[in-house]
Amino acid sequence: MPQAMRPIGIFDSGIGGLTVARAISQRFPSHPLIYFGDTAHLPYGEKSPELIRRYASRITRELVDMDCVAIVVACNSASSNALEEVREVAGKAVPVIDVIHPVVQSVAIQFPGESIGVIGTRATIDSGWYQRLLEERGCGVKAKATPLLASAIEEGFHEGKVSSALIEAYLADGFLSGIKALVLGCTHYPLITDQILRSMPSDVMIIDSAEAVAKALSDLDVGISPGVLFEEGSHQSMPLRRFIVSDLTRSFQLGAERFFGAPVTLEERKLRES
Ligand code: DGL
């Protein structure tokens, strides 16, 4: 396959990484994408670092075997716990982009020396990555694990009383005071940005990683370009987007269709033992 046609591989535990996939497909509308949702093992945020590493490595192996030109770890829990392993499996020829470095870099430029809030899964916050990377760039950090949010979103509670009550419970204790920006350190959280905004002081900015990650991908020199346009459902051999899950679940199907506002065809691929 010519370099420009090799797909971009993107993965997360579930639907959260679709927020990153959408930003990528907006930037590269004609480039094929393969999205892998590890529905058999979500939520990653409650797993041990060892288990997250094992799952992330296996998915990376699948995506490399599918000839992906680059891998996007569209999951903060995996980015903060398994990046080294993902890079090792991907090898030198397949660049890997995580969701943390690009957003930290952009926040540190936008808010030099300021105090930044970060919310994310337990696995992400406990890893200390955001704290370390932001502090290295001169920012103050307030970090908080908000463990029930990703599962609630995955279950379809992306609006209404359940997610509002969780946001209230996690954020109404003064956590937001004194910060200039709140980083959504889980790729599921942009799906409830409007609700989070409602509990935020108006002078605190919400930042998610999707745009910064899509931009980091465009800075790679690996031939990712608009390429040749493939229509979804056309007779072309490689559809524009493929959605693969490790377990065909109704919640992923509904979540992805709600997200794109259109029917989505899922393929199931069980993760191999490596
Ligand atoms: N969306 C993922 C993240 O960014 C994973 C959430 C989960 O599975 O717990 O951390």
**55-102 pLDDT per residue, tens:** 999 999 999 999 999 999 999 999 999 999 999 999 999 999 999 999
Counting from 1 in the atom list of ligand 1, the atom nearest the Cα of 186 is 4
Question: Which percentage of the chain shows pLDDT scores above 90?
Answer: 77
- How many percent of the chain have pLDDT more than 70? 92
- Which tens digits make up the pLDDT trace of 187-230? 999 999 999 999 899 899 999 999 999 999 988 877 676 544 44
**Domain interval for residue 64:** 8-98+212-268
User: Quick one: the chain helix, strand, coil %, rounded to 5?
Assistant: 45, 15, 40
Domain count for the chain, please give it.
2
Ligand 1 binding site (Cβ under 6 Å of any ligand atom): 12-14, 16, 42-45, 75-77, 121, 124, 150, 186-188
Least confident of 155-164, 173-182, 225-234: 225-234
pTM of the model as a whole: 0.93
Q: Which residue has the higher pLDDT, 93 or 5?
A: 93
Is 75 designated active site?
Answer: yes
Q: How many CA atoms lie within 13 A of 266 on its CB side?
A: 22
Same domain, 128 and 254: no
Which of 193, 209, 225 terminates a domain? The answer is 209
Inside any domain, residue 273: no
**What's the whole-number average pLDDT of the chain?**
91
CA of 207 to the centre of ligand 1 (A): 16
Catalytic (active site) residue 186: yes
Helices 18-27/210-218 angle, 10° precision: 40
- Which residue in the list 186, 200, 214, 271 is annotated as catalytic? 186
Q: What is the pLDDT of residue 240?
A: 81
Distance CA(106)–CA(155), nearest Å, equals 31
Q: Atom 2 in ligand 1: which residue has the minimum CA distance?
A: 75
Taking the centre of ligand 1 as the mean of its atom positions, its distance from the CA of residue 179, in whole angstroms, is: 23
Residue 254 located in a structural domain? yes
3 found inside a domain: no
Same domain, 120 and 150: yes
Please check the confidence at residue 36 and state whether its pLDDT lies above 50. yes
Query: In this structure, are residues 163 and 149 in contact, taking their beta carbons and an 8 Å threshold?
Result: yes
Q: Specify if 274 maps to a domain.
A: no
